[in-house]
Amino acid sequence: MLADDKLQNVDQDQVHPEYATGFSVEYHEGYKVVTVTKPWRGSDESYTYVLVKPGVSPPHLGKGEEIITIPSERFVSLSSTYLPYLPILGITSSLKGVTNTNTVYTPEVMNLIQEGKVIDVSGGGSGMATGINLETLIDLNPDLVMTYATGQPEYDAHPKLQEAGIPVVLNAEYMEEDPLGRAEWIKFISVFFNREKEANAYFEKIKNEYQSLEKSVHFLNGTNPTVFVNNNWQGTWNMAGGQSYVAELLRDAGADYLWSDDTTTGSIPLDFEIVYDKGQNADYWLNPGTAMTLQELLGEDARYSEFTAVKSKKIYNNNARVNAGGGNDYWESGVAHPETVLKDLIKIFHPEIVSDHNLVYYRHLE
């Protein structure tokens, strides 16, 4: 347990992002300032939070700065992607509310849900952020709510929560396209609980693992296998952009992603015929939607059988860990463990490097 009164410049007790580009932390005598520079796509405003110990008021408050009292002891998470970090930082017990309990995958959190110690604050369903039951949330009396924002008022929960006087911070990890950058938001979360030390130790570990895997792929001779991702739906194929999270992972795993030259970060809606033209002879096909078996995939569109990757059965889907509610752990603990996702991908493309690894998030469609 860190002493609260030691918010001073002790290196291990401070976090500074190396890969993440969306937040920064400044440490002052007695308080910290956290800035989220780009909370959503196309946003031109940044959010600044001033973190203080109970009963302490910061020396000055700039325009638009919000005071958050830390460490948080009644925490509500409105996205399942923050949950895997709580056990890592040793703060699972401060979690009081989550959304969509039926899709949560993190075991420590699931236990708390079953014990009734963590409450579902969704509006009964699991749609957009509008599906939040504000009354349940207020009733929990949270001292910190963490959520994400899309910039579309009809989906975003934070303005409503601020109106209700609930301390809310925006987490923009989903904007990071670098897998390590995305996982580095563990540091952002740690700041609100004074757990910087644990965050630093964890991130150092996965960073080293990720980079050594990356290096081992680098030293390979020979050509990289070609790959394309996602699937056709009603004639339109949403391909991951060349600068997206998925594309970065494929590159780091030593695969030649066919849309690598593309410059977008999100996904691009393509004509099925373009994908067929470019991808018919590709070696691998990854993440083809919701299919759990090859038969299911071919049932979706008979034209898939023309792909070489289908003929040679080199199709892998990232849904090996999906629970009954449809929650996919690839988007939960997978975000916190980019090194494991990378290992999965290397096992698929270059099995000789990680021969003792068994696939965690990926399944081979047979």
Partner 1 sequence: MIFLLLSLIILFFLELVLGSVAIPYPEIVRILTGQGSSHDSWIMIIYNFRLPKAMVGLCAGACLAIAGLFMQTLFRNPLAGPDVLGLSAGAGLGVAIVVLSAGTAGASSILGNLGFFGSVGIAIAASFGSGLVLLMILAVSKRVQNSMTLLILGLMFGYTANSFISILMHFALAERIQAYTIWSFGSFGGATWDQIQVLVLFAVLGLIYSISLIKHLNVLLLGDQYAESMGLDLIRTRNKIFIITAVLSGVVTAFCGPIGFIGISVPHLCRALFATANHCILIPACILLGACLALTADIIASVPGYSITLPLNAITSLIGAPVVIWIIFSKSRNGMEVSV
Size of site (CB under 8 A) for partner 1 = 39
Identity of residue 149: A
**Beta carbon nearer to partner 1, 103 or 244:** 103
Does 151 bind partner 1 (CB under 8 A)? Our answer is no
The distance of closest approach from Cβ of residue 200 to partner 1 in the complex, given in angstroms and rounded to an integer, is 32
CA atoms within 13 A on the CB side of 220: 21
Q: Applying CB under 8 A, which part among 125-133, 166-174, 246-254, 352-360 lies near partner 1? A: 125-133
Check residue 126 for interaction with partner 1 (CB under 8 A): yes
Strand ranges, E, within the chain: 23-28, 31-36, 47-52, 65-69, 75-77, 95-98, 119-120, 144-147, 168-170, 226-229, 232-233, 236-240, 256-257, 267-271, 284-286, 315-317, 363-364
Q: Least CB distance from residue 275 to partner 1, whole Å?
A: 9
Q: Which is nearer to partner 1, 138 or 298 (CB)?
A: 298
* One residue of 221, 234, 355, 358 binding partner 1 per CB under 8 A: 234
Shortest Cβ 178–partner 1 spacing (Å): 22
Separation between Cα atoms, residue 125 and residue 213, nearest integer Å: 40
Of 203 and 330, which CB lies nearer to partner 1 in the complex structure?
A: 330
Could you give the string, one character per residue 243-272, with x where binding to partner 1 holds by CB under 8 A and - elsewhere?
A: -------------------------xxxxx
Q: DSSP letter for 103, please.
A: G
HSE on the CB side for 156, CA within 13 Å? 17
- Output 170 or 291, the one with its CB closest to partner 1: 291
Among 289, 179, 150, 344, smallest CA distance to 245 is for 179
Give the closest residue to 362 by CA, choosing from 334, 332, 327.
334
Burial call 249-265: b when 16+ CB within 10 Å, e when fewer: bbbbbbbbbbbeebeeb
Indicate the residue among 162 and 280 with the shorter CB distance to partner 1.
Answer: 280
Q: Which of these ranges, 63-71, 126-134, 140-148, 181-189, lies near partner 1 under the rule CB under 8 A?
A: 126-134
CB of 322 to partner 1, least distance (A): 5
Residue 127 binds partner 1, judged by CB under 8 A: yes
Distance from chain centroid for Cα 196:
19
We find the least distance from the C-beta atom of residue 218 to partner 1, in angstroms, to be 31
| Nearest CA-CA partner of 38 in 123, 153, 151 | 151
DSSP for 196-243, written as a single string = HHHHHHHHHHHHHHHHHHHHHHHT--SPPPEEEES-EETTEEEEEPTT
Structure token pair of residue 60: 């000055």
Candidate segments 12-20, 137-145, 178-186, 300-308, binder of partner 1 by CB under 8 A: 300-308
CB of 242 to partner 1, least distance (A): 12
Residue 234 C-beta: closest distance to partner 1, Å: 4
What is the Cα–Cα distance from 263 to 281, expressed in whole angstroms? 23
Q: Spell out, one character per residue from 69 to 108, where the chain touches partner 1: x when CB under 8 A holds, - when not.
A: ----------------------------------x-----
- Please pick, from the candidates 61, 93, 306, 364, the single residue that binds partner 1 as defined by CB under 8 A: 306
Cα–Cα distances in angstroms (integers) from residue 89 to residues 83, 94, 98, 278, 340, in the given order = 10, 11, 17, 45, 19
Question: What is the nearest approach in angstroms of partner 1 to the Cβ of residue 328?
Answer: 8
Enumerate residues 276-295 that contact partner 1 by CB under 8 A. Answer: 276-277, 280, 290-293, 295
Contact criterion met (CB below 8 Å) for 191 and 25? yes
x/- mask, partner 1, residues 314-333, rule CB under 8 A, reads --------xxxxx-------
Rounded CA-CA distance 47/255 in Å is 37
Give the chain's end-to-end CA distance (angstroms, integer): 49
Give the residues lining the site for partner 1 (CB under 8 A). Answer: 103, 123-128, 131, 233-236, 268-274, 276-277, 280, 290-293, 295-296, 299-303, 306, 322-326
